[in-house]
Amino acid sequence: MELALFDLDNTLLSGDSDYAWAQFLIEQGVLERAAYEAKNEHFFLQYKTGKLDINEFLDFQLAPLARHPREKLDEWHAEFMRTKIKPMIQAKAIELVQLHRGHGDLCAIVTSTNTFITAPIAREFGVDHLLATELELRDGKFTGKPSGTPPFREGKVTRLAEWLGSRGQTLASFSSSWFYSDSMNDLPLLERVTQPVAVDPDETLRQVATGRGWRIMSLE
């Protein structure tokens, strides 16, 4: 059996679901445009330049989840999936996931975006396993805080090891391990698998992939 891991934002999706969720809430009037739009752009630029403080970002991104009942959040998310996410789902990305599933590979999406946003997206791709930022719950409600290690940069390696360990496996359990990503932030995990693949990569990842002879592909 082989292992196939997929980054989500700007890899399987032709956009960033974290960024899009904040923008969606702004458009819905849930978040105040002037304050939140500037912060959303700020964090997005930090991510793209490899300088994101994940804890600071999660404080920003998760706070709105604690202010509204789950029923309302789910209602918003359904509209978010219809208007924002489905247009980002690329046919070639669906085909790539189906290729690995058809080979009987163990497939997982590994993303720093939180589980509330990403669980329905993973289901849309038909991927059963999702390693994403877990959300703290209290009395069934989101607290606005993360739980456990966010799968960001080295955190993706940590969370993957924890997940595989819970299955009695390690990366060495697989004849080949694939990881598809667009971002330099994912270098720690790309360096651990046997088949690193740069997907429509940022410039830093493109240079690294070219220098190391990694496969470079496009899902656009």
Q: Are 119 and 134 in contact (CB under 8 A)?
A: no
Q: Looking at the chain, list the stretches that DSSP marks H as alpha helix, in order from N- to C-terminal side.
A: 17-27, 33-48, 54-62, 70-80, 91-102, 115-125, 154-166, 187-190, 203-212
Alpha-carbon distances of 192 from 53, 122, 176, rounded to whole Å:
23, 23, 11
Find out whether 220 and 82 touch, Cβ atoms under 8 Å: no
SS3 129: strand
Q: For residues 62 and 171, what is the distance between their CA atoms, to the nearest angstrom?
A: 31
DSSP 60-99: HHHGGGGGS-HHHHHHHHHHHIIIIIGGGB-HHHHHHHHH
Q: Which two tokens stand for residue 87?
A: 């247009």
- Beta bridge partners, 180, equal 6, 197
32 phi-psi bin (left φ>0, alpha ψ -120 to 50, beta other)? beta
> Which residues are known catalytic residues?
7, 9
